[in-house]
Structure 1
Amino acid sequence: MKTKLQFLKPLGKFLLLLILVGISFSYAMFQGGFVSWFLFYSFLPFALYAASVFLYPLSEFYVERSFESSEYKAGDELKVTITLSRKIPFPLFYMVLEDVLTDSVFHHSGFQKAKAMIHPGFRKRIKLTYYIEELPRGEHVFSAVRLRAGDFFGIFEKEASIDCINKLLVYPAFVDVPYRPLENRYDQGMTTSNVKIQKDTTMATGIRDYQPGDRFSWIHWKTFARTNELMTKEFEERQSHDVLIVLDREDSPAFESMVTLSASMIRSILKKGAQVGLVSIGEDHVSFPIRGGEEHQSQLFYHLAKVRQDSPYALGKVLQGEGLNYSQSAAVLFVTSSVSKKMIMSVNQYAKRNSSVVIFLLKRIGEAYTAEEKSLKAYASSRGIRLKVCFEGDFSSAFMEVKRA
């Protein structure tokens, strides 16, 4: 029923226009004289134009949308260019153009819609440019361009929506975070080591005297047969810089800062030639293995660009139900905006695996570092877990201060 009424509405307006033309003509015929005929002939062009607008198809416009670049990160400025082209140069007095896109694009913008009025005239090609400041992270969809035009009196208003789909993926922002390998702590005397030392047993670099505790497979039998003395092969020592980042996806005002810190740490670690993995648990459980290289960084950044704060549970409860699959030589970094005793107890199981475990607690600008959080920091330290408080926009010293802790 509603569809039929929408269809009958322009027909009713068209009949009204014919009635107005008939009334002005009848007035000129019966009244006569210069004034009455002048009114009729003056109104006739506007009536014909209104009828032409009623018949003109706005859908004949071809729409093309383009961006200045193919890759953006959060906080960048977006320049959007819309090009309209048509075959029939019908004189349109005005036209309102609106770019239909997801509302998330205007999260930090001063306006909420991309809308403008233009005067096409007889032009066959029209180009319009607008800017969106401070792009938010995420995937944004530009679905269509809506056009609306009318006549001088506003009797007829035509609207058409022309499909023009573009998807824009905005990657998370990142800052320079100088990376330093974290210390690992052991129960025996609380000794420290910058990184786990592993021996590459595929290649021997020399031999030395046998020492108690050396593996049987490391004995150099040729030397023993020649000298009758036990000698042990020496292997190249390889340092493990593996890092696993665990992102807390619980709803939080500091979530965007958490994503920025995670992206910054990933970029810094991979830039140093180390390897990094990522675990983010929300409505879905996403886990990336510990690897290196630019392709791996692209995969992690792609996930961080689309990740949402959709975890229904706190990180401590999530860790109790989900195990983290990683090697013992990897350092584990938890990125969260809230910390609790229950969470520290859940994280403690990873500290027992001889891994270097650090909790990065994100605070917004102006947010206080409470006495309870200071108490929890001491509680975590007693269990071999380091808790580092980072304030929004100040991530440059994150690794350095953790190393000194």
Structure 2
Amino acid sequence: MMKKLWNSLQEISKVLLLLLLLAGTFSYAMFQGGFVSWFLFYSFLPFSLYSILIMLYPLSDFNVTRSIQSEELKAGSRVTVTIQLNRKFPIPLFYLVVEDQVSTSFFSTAEISQVKKLIYPGFKQSIKLQYEFENLPRGEHHFTSTDLKTGDFLGIFQKSKKIEAADTILVYPSYVPMTYQPIQVQYDQGVASTDVKIQRDTTMATGLREYQPGDRVSWIHWKSFARTNDLMTKEFEERKSHDVCLILDRTPSPLFEDLVSFIASLSRAVLKKGAQAGYISSGNTVQRVPVKNGDHHQRQIDYQLAKVQADSEAPFNDAIKKEISRMSQSVVLLVVTSSLTRELVQQLHDYSRNNSAVAVFLVKNAKNNTKNSDEQQIKALASSKGIMVRDCFAGHFSNVFAEVKQA
């Protein structure tokens, strides 16, 4: 209430100041006379009238439309944003400052000046301007509104208007091509991988039944038909599929974006191999994507990875303890983290006791490849418990499974 009253008093004082200046120049012309005094009055008159016009002109006359080049982008890409301004009354504007309000997550790689433009619209009723964001950060970014500011030549009246124009773009994590090698059941010295293409729906015959319309010709048991002259169809039993669950460490880390990129690359490689993949991460919220396959399923994983944040306050082994206990013992665990601890190794070992394969992908900075004695001891402990630990250096993810095969 007090703020509105103060703003009203300011506007009234500006009007009084303008009228006082206008009255002063007119009085000077009347009493002084002569060319110079009247020239001063007539020179000031259009500026004062324009100031009054700006005071009366509502910036709500503007209609703002924002268009984005693509609403689904990949981290590191570029996006072009176009703002279209339209108005009904072509009141001449000396200048107009247009500022797009964007969530602060955008500015990790972009300058704030990119969304603030100074234009000179004049009498234009339609104005179009563009700006670009380069090297987009991963995440969900929101455009909330567009702020317009203008004023008069004298600087007495300055007007601003916030026009609501909400938009959202989702920037998916970057990924690299990767060839997945399925992790097999553990041996004494760890786990192994195989080059065999996974056939999820392959089956094996377990018996015979009467032929039913719709059965494939290849399913008919011709030997029994030759003996009995009755059509019989083979019955099949589905073989267990290769199910993989990807687990992301959401503990705050300088390498968190690399972890997300590795998970995105790994999920594509797993699904391309013919396996089924699920995804779990735990922080302030829990993200769960069930073990399935297909392009739509990949988009579900990507959607969760686009929104995930490094917001876990609990140790990683505690964060995933509850989630692991819910899983089927036939699911292969692929854990992606940037920090390896004894507690995590023990947690994964408890899961892997029932012949379940577990692998840990330890993401590191390629520039800092110093050996840590404590880390080497934990790796040896993991290996003795049948858990594979593989170093993955940021920027070199595509070779991870080639190294696994060699190992």
Q: Give the Cα separation in 2 of the matches to 1:265 and 1:272.
A: 11
Q: In structure 2, what is the equivalent of residue 88 of structure 1?
A: 89
Contact 2:203 2:238 in 1 (8 A): no
Q: CA deviation at 1:329?
A: 3.2
Q: State the TM-score, normalized to the length of structure 1.
A: 0.87
Q: In structure 2, what is the equivalent of residue 150 of structure 1?
A: 151
Q: CA deviation at 1:191?
A: 9.3
Contact 2:201 2:241 in 1 (8 A): no
Distance change >3 Å, CA 112–CA 23, structure 1 → 2 = closer
Q: In structure 2, what is the equivalent of residue 402 of structure 1?
A: 404
- Listed one character per residue, the Cα deviations across residues 11-65 of structure 1 (whole Å, up to 9, x for unaligned) are 2111100000000000000000010000000000000001100111111100000
Q: Give the Cα separation in 1 of the matches to 2:283 and 2:190.
A: 35
Instruction: State how 1:68-87 maps to structure 2 within 5 Å.
Output: 68-87=69-88
Secondary structure of residue in 2 paired with 1:240: coil
1:386 counterpart = 2:355: no
Q: Give the Cα separation in 2 of the matches to 1:253 and 1:150.
A: 45
Q: CA deviation at 1:4?
A: 1.0
- Listed one character per residue, the Cα deviations across residues 264-289 of structure 1 (whole Å, up to 9, x for unaligned) are 11111112222101111112222222
Q: In structure 2, what is the equivalent of residue 281 of structure 1?
A: 282
Secondary structure of residue in 1 paired with 2:397: coil
Secondary structure of residue in 1 paired with 2:150: strand
Q: Give the Cα separation in 2 of the matches to 1:114 and 1:199.
A: 52
Letter in 2 for 1:279: I
Q: CA deviation at 1:368?
A: 3.2
Q: In structure 2, what is the equivalent of residue 174 of structure 1?
A: 175
Q: In structure 2, what is the equivalent of residue 67 of structure 1?
A: 68
- Listed one character per residue, the Cα deviations across residues 352-372 of structure 1 (whole Å, up to 9, x for unaligned) are 121221111111242234222
Q: In structure 1, what is the equivalent of residue 215 of structure 2?
A: none
Q: CA deviation at 1:327?
A: 3.3
Q: Give the Cα separation in 2 of the matches to 1:172 and 1:91.
A: 46
- Structure 2: any 5+ residue segments left out of the alignment? 209-222, 228-233
Instruction: State how 1:15-164 maps to structure 2 within 5 Å.
Output: 15-111=16-112, 114-164=115-165
Q: In structure 2, what is the equivalent of residue 216 of structure 1?
A: none
Letter in 2 for 1:121: G
Distance change >3 Å, CA 201–CA 79, structure 1 → 2 = closer
Contact 2:204 2:238 in 1 (8 A): no
Letter in 2 for 1:386: M
RMSD across aligned positions (CA): 2.7
1:243 counterpart = 2:271: no
Distance change >3 Å, CA 190–CA 53, structure 1 → 2 = closer
Instruction: State how 1:211-226 maps to structure 2 within 5 Å.
Output: none
Letter in 2 for 1:356: A
- Listed one character per residue, the Cα deviations across residues 54-110 of structure 1 (whole Å, up to 9, x for unaligned) are 111111100000011231011111100000001101100101110011011121124
Q: CA deviation at 1:172?
A: 1.1
Q: Give the Cα separation in 1 of the matches to 2:55 and 2:34.
A: 32
Distance change >3 Å, CA 307–CA 11, structure 1 → 2 = same
Q: Give the Cα separation in 2 of the matches to 1:186 and 1:198.
A: 24
Distance change >3 Å, CA 90–CA 285, structure 1 → 2 = same
Q: In structure 2, what is the equivalent of residue 215 of structure 1?
A: none
Q: Give the Cα separation in 1 of the matches to 2:90 and 2:8.
A: 27
Q: Give the Cα separation in 1 of the matches to 2:367 and 2:65.
A: 45
How many residues of Structure 1 are paired with residues of Structure 2 in the alignment?
382
Q: CA deviation at 1:304?
A: 0.7
- Structure 1: any 5+ residue segments left out of the alignment? 207-221, 227-232
Q: Give the Cα separation in 2 of the matches to 1:282 and 1:91.
A: 54
The more displaced of 28-37 and 351-360 is 351-360
Secondary structure of residue in 2 paired with 1:83: strand
- Listed one character per residue, the Cα deviations across residues 148-167 of structure 1 (whole Å, up to 9, x for unaligned) are 00011111100001011101
Q: In structure 2, what is the equivalent of residue 308 of structure 1?
A: 309
Q: CA deviation at 1:311?
A: 1.0
Secondary structure of residue in 2 paired with 1:185: coil
Q: CA deviation at 1:319?
A: 3.4
Q: Give the Cα separation in 1 of the matches to 2:283 and 2:7.
A: 45
Distance change >3 Å, CA 140–CA 62, structure 1 → 2 = same
Q: CA deviation at 1:111?
A: 3.8
Q: In structure 2, what is the equivalent of residue 373 of structure 1?
A: 375
Letter in 2 for 1:95: L
Contact 2:184 2:191 in 1 (8 A): no
1:255 counterpart = 2:256: yes
Q: CA deviation at 1:330?
A: 2.6
Q: Give the Cα separation in 1 of the matches to 2:72 and 2:322.
A: 37
Distance change >3 Å, CA 320–CA 239, structure 1 → 2 = closer
- Listed one character per residue, the Cα deviations across residues 209-249 of structure 1 (whole Å, up to 9, x for unaligned) are xxxxxxxxxxxxx99xx9xxxxxx99788473321111111
Secondary structure of residue in 2 paired with 1:397: helix
Q: CA deviation at 1:202?
A: 6.4
- Listed one character per residue, the Cα deviations across residues 126-178 of structure 1 (whole Å, up to 9, x for unaligned) are 00000011111111110110000001111110000101110111111111111
Contact 2:365 2:394 in 1 (8 A): yes
Distance change >3 Å, CA 201–CA 364, structure 1 → 2 = closer
Contact 1:103 1:112 in 2 (8 A): no
Letter in 1 for 2:248: L
Q: Give the Cα separation in 2 of the matches to 1:87 and 1:113.
A: 27
Q: Give the Cα separation in 1 of the matches to 2:103 and 2:295.
A: 30
Q: CA deviation at 1:2?
A: 2.2
Distance change >3 Å, CA 112–CA 203, structure 1 → 2 = farther
Contact 2:203 2:239 in 1 (8 A): no
